[in-house]
């Protein structure tokens, strides 16, 4: 098995300019997730040894298409064990992330990982996203949570309109497979970016970043 520093090379292959703190936070994720996954299963057993490719780098495909400015407010809808929000919070330490899930034990893992890795810009909330009122965000992010139609129905009321940075405010989600029917049923027209064009790794074939502008 590769050592953690070698695994970090996978991330450093595509991104530079990390601070020492960020590198330490990324490096801490493997042991934290292995420890917590043994107690509360949030990552499939076959995936845990590939956490940097399958989870961390996959999450960072959002960072490759959206350079969130300091002060940006992001909601991670159905964050599960913390993807894509946890890697994005490390990548963008000046951005505020609200991680939302309806399953409390998953948020327990997110809280523990954030504390263990010293990630200060994450808050968690145990709720259904449709029950969030009186909050507005610049972006919603999500990975493999629900069909695009549902995601947009949940995200749209929470999003501010506008474009203060290189990409318009909206929903950015990670999806896989044949999306033609799902997009057709959603009633929206997302911008679709293949992840394997961002990171040329065979694992990402058939995986996409979708951006729906508010």
Q: Quick check: bond before 177 cis, omega within 30?
A: no
**To 10 degrees, the CA torsion angle through 178, 52, 68, 77?**
60
- Residue 15 marked ligand-binding: no
Known binder of ligand: residue 129? yes
Q: Tell me if 143 is assigned to a ligand binding site.
A: yes
30 known member of a binding site? no
Instruction: Please name every residue paired with 77 in a beta bridge, in sequence order, or none if there are none.
Output: 100
Using alpha carbons, select from 170, 188, 169, 167 the residue that is nearest to residue 179.
188
Ligand-binding annotation for 78, yes or no, is yes
Dihedrals phi, psi of 88, to nearest 5 degrees: -65, -35
What DSSP line would sit under 112-142, residue for residue? HHHHHHT--SEEEEES-GGG--S--BSEEEE
d(CA 54, CA 50): 6
- CA angle (77 as vertex; 64, 205 as ends), nearest 5: 45
Tell me whether strands 170-176 and 207-213 are parallel, antiparallel or unpaired: antiparallel
| Binding-site positions | 78, 83, 129-130, 143
| Binding-site positions for S-adenosyl-L-methionine | 78, 83, 129-130, 143
């Amino acid at each position: 098995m590769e050592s953690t520093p070698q695994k970090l090379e996978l991330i450093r292959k595509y991104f530079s300019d990390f601070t020492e703190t960020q590198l330490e936070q990324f490096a801490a994720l493997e042991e934290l997730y292995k420890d917590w996954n043994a107690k509360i299963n949030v990552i499939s057993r076959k995936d845990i040894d590939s956490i940097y490719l399958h989870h961390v780098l996959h999450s960072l495909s959002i960072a490759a298409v959206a350079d969130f400015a300091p002060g940006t407010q992001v909601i991670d809808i159905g964050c599960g064990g913390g993807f894509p929000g946890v890697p994005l919070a490390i990548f963008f330490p000046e951005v505020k992330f609200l991680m939302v899930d309806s399953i409390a034990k998953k948020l327990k893992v997110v809280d523990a990982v954030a504390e263990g890795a010293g990630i200060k810009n994450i808050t968690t909330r145990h709720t259904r996203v449709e029950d969030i009122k009186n909050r507005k965000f610049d972006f919603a992010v999500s990975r493999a949570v629900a069909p695009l139609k549902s995601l947009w129905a949940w995200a749209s009321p929470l999003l501010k309109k506008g474009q203060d940075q290189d990409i318009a405010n909206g929903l950015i989600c990670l999806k896989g497979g044949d999306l033609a029917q799902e997009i057709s049923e959603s009633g929206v027209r997302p911008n679709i970016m293949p992840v394997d064009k961002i990171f040329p790794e065979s694992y990402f074939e058939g995986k996409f970043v979708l951006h729906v502008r508010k």
